[in-house]
Structure 1
Amino acid sequence: MSKTGKSKHRFPEFTDADAWEQRRLGEVAEFAKGRGYSKKDICSEGTPIILYGRLYTNYETVINDVDTYTELQENSVLSSGDEVIVPSSGESAEDISRAAFVQNSGVILGGDLNIIKPNETIQSTFLAITLSNGSQQKELSKRAQGKSVVHLHNSDLKVVNLSFPTLPEQERIGAFFQTLDATIASHQRKHSQRRV
């Protein structure tokens, strides 16, 4: 377990005494894979489902409203409300280097999704933010493999170097970015309504 220096920009209530820790993601999380389902399985009602392609078009860092449904199949993977999901396929290394936190339980996690369940030292919103930004995102991009379609596997995610502060600071960072996401989404909706 190594300690790293503080980030250049921090909330005033956190000081140098609150050092950031650095670990491999595989040391602080468990991993699984989504299962089955494709666009043809979507219907107007049923169990909420997240398909990997929707991460690129419909969802922000925190997913609390799922707008697609399907009939629940045997052996489906259902969220418990603390997972971080990362697409395992995408068109480019930059596209695939994004993560989202699934806030609700009982959501089907479809195929082509890497599922990360952090332990008690990592807050899920913080993990989704850090994997989608900065040095962790660059590391994910470097690990993405393929030409016309790129792939990212749980084995790639396990070796990502993760820097993280104490839980209270992670929660503060997560809340800040959730507020920012909500503000951006609100402005985008207003802009879209004006154009109609």
Structure 2
Amino acid sequence: MSQIDEIIQEFCPDGVEFKKLGDIAQLVRGNGMPKSDLVLAEGVGAIHYGQIYTRYGVWANTTISFVTPTTAIKLAKVEPGDLIVTNTSENVEDVGKAVAWLGEQSIVTGGHATVIKHNQDPKFLSYWFRSESFFTQKKALASGTKVIDVSAKQLADVHIPIPPLQVQREIVGVLDTLADLKTELTRALEAEIEGRQRRYKYYRDSLVGFEGDESISRVPMGQIGEFIRGRRFTKNDFVDLGIPSIHYGEIYTYYGTATDSTISHVRKDLAPQLRYAQPGDVVIAAVGETVEDVGKAVAWLGDEKVAIHDDCFLYRSHLNPKFVSYYLQSGPFNAQKGKHVSRAKVKRLSSDGLAKILIPVPSEAEQERVVALLDKVTELVDELLEVLPAEITARREQFDHYLNKLLTFKELAA
């Protein structure tokens, strides 16, 4: 930071001139180019406005999409060094995001994007479009509710600091180094998370699957227990105080292996028409948007009965409910489940399909031993998986802090 301070002191000791973006750049509005125009094969490089905040970073020298030469003729041209800024998004954070084009050839962009042609350092400008200073200004300019918009005309009025090019390049050099460090650390932490999850799944599957242990019998679930479908209620029936309930969607979005309390309740006047899981039952999601979600389960360990949705089954057996719930997360169960899931837009599992799935049936003492081990390991893994994402967030916040510090200047007096 001291080197940057020295350069600023040398080149702009009295402050930095702030100018309207429209006074230092030409803003060209894009047009056309729906996603149907994009191809992944060769052609003219193209950046769609939605890709700016989902696929690109501060700069790019290659594109992930192309358009045909015929289509490119009618689109806004982007020359090397230009910026592309998105004018539309679903939130204030993404609207106004920029990518500096540093490729060797001209490319194109379409509607809901603005091309900024300028004589500044392109990466300096692109970093600035991620700064708190710009965010404050665009937030005041943004309009819309469901779709947020900041027009090219509005962008032209944004005030931006314009330090000398040498200062811009020095700042870019520091931010590039910090960005590389952030990316490297983030990848390492994400790899650590993935590795720990993979090892946990292997350990869990080995424990509940009893792979290679021929002394453990494997029995169709329908032979040692019964599946009972829940009864219909809707989200409109939810109340703050009422009958404890489990909705199928909550099983794969909120609950873990087991729970003794619910996050939702339904109206008490529905009591006669509902169907209930008893303590010790396992509640299974019979419907999901993916094959992975359908068949997920939670062991109900509360002190009272709980109403279950009609897209759930309760499984009642003499097995340890947490052992069953852990097994229903495992690879051996998922390998069998896939054969019985209907592959429509909404994935479904029937009670007949579930009843055919084989489950290991060790002794009661062995089930308790497996559950105790997995409870301890799960707790340790969950603690680590809370720490590591927090570390990733901290690294990103640290980078944002330095970005804002480097891009904040004393304004030159008029």
TM-score normalised by the chain length of structure 2: 0.42
Secondary structure in structure 2 of the residue aligned to 1:31: strand
- The equivalent residue for 2:116 is 116
Whether 1:68 aligns to 2:65 is yes
Structure 1 stretch 26-35 or stretch 10-19: which is displaced more?
Answer: 10-19
> What is the rounded CA distance, in whole Å, between the counterparts of 2:171 and 2:135 in structure 1?
17
**Structure ranking higher on relative contact order (CA contacts 8 Å, 6+ apart):** 1
Shift of 1:192: 5.3
Count of matched residue pairs: 187
Shift of 1:127: 1.0
Secondary structure in structure 1 of the residue aligned to 2:114: strand
Secondary structure in structure 1 of the residue aligned to 2:169: helix
> What is the rounded CA distance, in whole Å, between the counterparts of 1:144 and 1:38 in structure 2?
23
- Whether the aligned pair in 2 keeps the contact of 1:61 and 1:128 (CA below 8 Å) is yes
> What is the rounded CA distance, in whole Å, between the counterparts of 2:83 and 2:34 in structure 1?
20
Aligned pair in 2 of structure 1 residues 33, 39: CA closer, same or farther (>3 Å)?
Answer: same
Secondary structure in structure 1 of the residue aligned to 2:4: coil
Structure 1 stretch 23-32 or stretch 90-99: which is displaced more?
Answer: 90-99
> What is the rounded CA distance, in whole Å, between the counterparts of 2:137 and 2:40 in structure 1?
38
> What is the rounded CA distance, in whole Å, between the counterparts of 2:47 and 2:23 in structure 1?
26
> What is the rounded CA distance, in whole Å, between the counterparts of 2:134 and 2:127 in structure 1?
10
Bigger fraction of residues in strand: 1
- The equivalent residue for 2:144 is 146
Q: Write the letter of the residue equivalent to 2:6.
A: E
Whether 1:11 aligns to 2:8 is no
Q: Percent identity?
A: 22
Secondary structure in structure 1 of the residue aligned to 2:7: coil
- The equivalent residue for 1:4 is none
Q: CA RMSD in A?
A: 2.2
Secondary structure in structure 2 of the residue aligned to 1:27: helix
Secondary structure in structure 2 of the residue aligned to 1:115: strand
Q: Write the letter of the residue equivalent to 1:169.
A: V
Superposed counterparts of 1:185-196, under 5 Å: 185-190=183-188, 195=194
> What is the rounded CA distance, in whole Å, between the counterparts of 2:102 and 2:87 in structure 1?
20
Superposed counterparts of 1:46-195, under 5 Å: 46-72=43-69, 73=71, 74-104=73-103, 105-118=105-118, 120=119, 122-190=120-188, 195=194
2:34 to 18, 22, 38: 38
- The equivalent residue for 2:222 is none
Structure 1 stretch 160-169 or stretch 179-188: which is displaced more?
Answer: 179-188
Please list every run of 5 or more consecutive structure 2 residues that lacks an aligned counterpart in the other structure.
Answer: 196-414
Secondary structure in structure 2 of the residue aligned to 1:30: strand
Aligned pair in 2 of structure 1 residues 179, 139: CA closer, same or farther (>3 Å)?
Answer: same
- Whether the aligned pair in 2 keeps the contact of 1:85 and 1:101 (CA below 8 Å) is yes
Shift of 1:176: 2.2
Secondary structure in structure 2 of the residue aligned to 1:141: helix
> What is the rounded CA distance, in whole Å, between the counterparts of 1:10 and 1:136 in structure 2?
25
Aligned pair in 2 of structure 1 residues 175, 145: CA closer, same or farther (>3 Å)?
Answer: same
> What is the rounded CA distance, in whole Å, between the counterparts of 1:16 and 1:84 in structure 2?
29
Q: Deviations over 1:68-112 (max 9, x none)?
A: 222231312222112112111101122213222111232221221
Secondary structure in structure 2 of the residue aligned to 1:162: strand
> What is the rounded CA distance, in whole Å, between the counterparts of 2:115 and 2:130 in structure 1?
15
Secondary structure in structure 2 of the residue aligned to 1:126: helix
> What is the rounded CA distance, in whole Å, between the counterparts of 2:153 and 2:3 in structure 1?
31
Structure 1 stretch 99-108 or stretch 179-188: which is displaced more?
Answer: 179-188
Q: Deviations over 1:7-35 (max 9, x none)?
A: x9761431435131111111111110122
Q: Write the letter of the residue equivalent to 1:149.
A: V
Q: Write the letter of the residue equivalent to 1:11.
A: I
Secondary structure in structure 2 of the residue aligned to 1:48: strand
Secondary structure in structure 1 of the residue aligned to 2:167: helix
- Whether the aligned pair in 1 keeps the contact of 2:76 and 2:115 (CA below 8 Å) is no
Q: Write the letter of the residue equivalent to 2:114.
A: N
> What is the rounded CA distance, in whole Å, between the counterparts of 1:15 and 1:109 in structure 2?
35
- The equivalent residue for 1:26 is 22
> What is the rounded CA distance, in whole Å, between the counterparts of 2:183 and 2:46 in structure 1?
21
Aligned pair in 2 of structure 1 residues 51, 188: CA closer, same or farther (>3 Å)?
Answer: farther
> What is the rounded CA distance, in whole Å, between the counterparts of 1:77 and 1:188 in structure 2?
35
- Whether the aligned pair in 2 keeps the contact of 1:34 and 1:109 (CA below 8 Å) is yes
Q: Write the letter of the residue equivalent to 2:7.
A: F
